[in-house]
Amino acid sequence: MEKVLFICVHNSARSQMAEAYLNMFGQDDFLAESAGFEPTSVNPLVVEVMKEEGVDLSAKETRSAFDLFREGRMYSHVITVCNDDHEARCPVYPGVVNRIHIPFADPAGMRGTREEQLSRIRELRDEIKAAVKEFVAWVREGAEGDFAKRIGR
């Protein structure tokens, strides 16, 4: 089983969506978790758009990447989904076979009406969903080459 950790800044959106999708699409081959550098709470608009996909994040709690590191958690893959400037703050996990950085827009910075924000978060959700599906295929094919380049990031 491939253990995967998704990390973003607050563990409030991007990493939560990626974790949910990997656990959905990866079935028995993957176990995904997520965490953040500065955990807050799950973004309610993210909860709403994920519910449209049949994924309930309403009871999810955020976690600290550094707490997981201190607990000695081991992962086959650590995937950062935050902006490039935050990726460097990710701790180096012992025993990690593969570290991948896939930057996605931060919903916390999205402005506009509620509907405009929901629309942009839906687009983000769909980008993350597609990347996770491609990640599953990549690992099942043998994880050859640079994954971020494979998906054009």
pLDDT at res. 75: 92
Q: How far apart are CA 68 and CA 72, in angstroms?
A: 7
- Looking at the domain 2-148, which fold is it? Rossmann fold (3.40.50)
Residue type, 133: K
Record the pTM: 0.93
Q: Catalytic residue numbers? A: 8, 82, 90
Are 100 and 80 a contacting pair, CB within 8 Å?
Answer: yes
Q: Where are the domains of the chain?
A: 2-148
Q: Which of 105, 104, 101, 103 is nearest to 147 (CA)?
A: 101
Q: How far apart are CA 109 and CA 69, in angstroms?
A: 27
pLDDT at res. 92: 65
Q: Which tokens hold the place of 44?
A: 């309610």
Q: pLDDT per position in the chain (153 positions), as tens?
A: 999 999 998 999 999 999 999 999 998 899 999 999 889 999 999 999 999 999 999 999 999 988 998 898 889 999 999 877 766 666 666 666 788 999 999 888 889 999 999 999 999 999 999 999 999 999 999 988 889 888 987
pLDDT at res. 144: 87
Are 6 and 79 a contacting pair, CB within 8 Å?
Answer: yes
Map residue 119 onto helix, strand or coil: helix
Map residue 103 onto helix, strand or coil: coil
